[in-house]
Amino acid sequence: MLRNQNGISVYTVLSIILFIALIFVLAIPNFYNLDKEQNVEDCINNMKEIWVAATDYVRDTEKDFDGNLETLRSTRKAMDQKNYYLSSASYCPETARQKTDYIVFGKYVADKIGDEVKHNYGVIVYCPNMHEYPKHFIPKEFYENMDPTQLQNYMIDDLDYINDETGTNGNRKKEMVEKYIEIWKTDPNAFNKRKDDSTALRAILFPEKFGMGM
């Protein structure tokens, strides 16, 4: 058996080197976030948690939510004063060290039908890194068991349409989601427009798809 001057076999040295190399390879994903699919799942789960918190807040306060997550982390629940709307801070795993908050918008609309007032609220949450990671997007299936309002259903369908149209183009996806949120922020008639025509807001975002960009 081959041995060096200290009496250690070459095979022992090779075994040690291979063992160290194996440990290094296994550790790389933890240091460099190479497990992309896990990061996608973790990011989506973060956004789901924030969506629930923001939805509860908009429902309880009956007003729009400006996206300041510190408000959710520092405000106790109306129906459960022992707990806050959002229990802790979470960040996209791709850039967790930067501690960039998720982007959130909440809309409240009181829809009066005769003498009855229906309380509508909808929340949009998206990843700050969506331009680089377009898969970081809450899927439509999530909302199925969340008892969404009419307004939230409008948002769900429109966001799903945006997701389908933009595909893997993260920059385009982020641009369209931001424009969509801006419509709800600035147009006081957005809810009625969307109620009257399911394509009304989509046509603003993608005029070429609806014969408006000719």
Of residues 40, 75, 76, 203, the one with CA closest to residue 66: 75
Please give the pLDDT value at position 114.
82
Average pLDDT over residues 29-34: 50
Work out the angle between the directed axes of helices 150-166 and 170-186 (0-180°, nearest 10): 150
pTM over 0.75: yes
What's the confidence (pLDDT) of residue 6? 54
Which runs of consecutive H residues, i.e. helices, occur in the chain? 10-32, 36-61, 69-74, 150-166, 170-186, 190-196, 200-205
The confidence band for 214, taking pLDDT boundaries of 50, 70 and 90, is very low
CA gap 88, 77 in Å, rounded = 14
The rounded mean pLDDT for the chain is 89
pLDDT value of position 196: 97
- Taking only Cα atoms into account, the Rg of the chain, rounded to an integer number of angstroms, comes to 24
Q: Is the pLDDT of residue 61 over 90?
A: yes
